[in-house]
Amino acid sequence: MSDIVLELQNVSRIFGEGDTQVKALDDVSFRIKRGEFVLIVGSSGSGKSTLLNMIGLLDKPTFGKVILDGKETTTLNDGQVSQYRNEKLGFVFQFANLLPDLTVLENVMLPQQIQGSSEDIRQNATDLLIKVGLEDQINKRSNKISGGQAQRAAIARGLVNRPTVVLADEPTGNLDSVTAGKVVKLAKTMAKELNQTFIIVTHDRHQFPDVDRVITIIDGKAFDGKQTTMEISA
């Protein structure tokens, strides 16, 4: 098993044509190792969501390659992409996006049911909910829990398939700073305990102290390191 779980090779994404053409990503290359906790930061319009869509196999590059867990994905057809996405990626969004009429447990079990795994789905989901500190909330309806609890459930759901990479787009954007801090701490604990790779897009670098890596996007170009946007442009 290779140590590299994700590699982008010279990825560009161009929207539109002629005068209205926008180069949202401009020759982006990097590699991410198993277990790394990576932040993607950058100002509004810099290309963060476009990059996350590439990594999440939700959109394809105009040029370049996206290699996820050893497989070059840009040549896969739509059906193959969907299957590979379900198998290899977990998603956590800004709003927990739990289905309100299902219980917390049922929400966390969902991705595994889609995949039709033969494992003990309920036990696995229950174990993860205990790990994220929601043992008391397991059988509650999802519209009866708090925002922070919902986001913790969303993290459990993102992890339930044991994906190669968990992708999170502004996972703390909808939370107060204390709750956000707890969610960040939880994600980092899970990353460490399970050697789980996380890639997190945030506009708020300060919510995430001590990450392994920060990739800063400026005008579609990626700068890799631990600096913030301000330090790079200073």
Ligand X SMILES: Nc1ncnc2c1ncn2[C@@H]1O[C@H](COP(=O)(O)OP(=O)(O)OP(=O)(O)O)[C@@H](O)[C@H]1O
Among 7, 42, 89, 92, binds ligand X (CB under 6 A): 42
* 95 contact choice in Mg ion, ligand X, none (CB below 5 to 8 Å, kind-dependent): none
**Where would I find the H helices in the chain?**
48-55, 78-88, 104-115, 121-131, 147-159, 177-194, 229-233
Among 49, 103, 107, 216, binds Mg ion (CB under 5 A): 49
Stretch that binds ligand X, among 46-54, 100-108, 116-124, 192-200 (CB under 6 A): 46-54
Return the ∠ at Cα 109 (arms to 105 and 113), rounded to 5°.
150
Ranges within 145-204 binding ligand X (CB under 6 A): 203
53 binds Mg ion (CB under 5 A): no
* 22 contact choice in Mg ion, ligand X, none (CB below 5 to 8 Å, kind-dependent): ligand X
Ranges within 20-39 binding ligand X (CB under 6 A): 22, 24
Q: Check: CB of residue 142 under 8 Å from CB of residue 153.
A: yes
Strands (E), 34-174: 37-41, 63-68, 71-72, 89-92, 165-169
Stretch that binds ligand X, among 45-53, 84-92, 100-108, 140-148 (CB under 6 A): 45-53
Helices (H) and strands (E) in the chain, counts: 7, 10
Among 4, 10, 16, 113, binds ligand X (CB under 6 A): 16
95 binds ligand X (CB under 6 A): no
Amino acid at 207: Q
Calculate the CA 209 to chain-centre distance: 18
The residue behind tokens 């909910």 is: 129
Helices 78-88 + 104-115 axis angle, to 10 = 130
- Token digits of residue 62: 């105009």
By C-beta, is 24 or 156 nearer to Mg ion? 24
- 223, with CB counted inside 10 A (0-12, 13-18, 19+), is middle
229 binds ligand X (CB under 6 A): no
Q: How many residues bind Mg ion (CB under 5 A)?
A: 1
Stretch that binds ligand X, among 43-51, 70-78, 91-99, 172-180 (CB under 6 A): 43-51
* 64 contact choice in ligand X, Mg ion, none (CB below 5 to 8 Å, kind-dependent): none
Where along the sequence are the contacts to ligand X (CB under 6 A)?
Answer: 15-16, 22, 24, 42, 44-50, 203
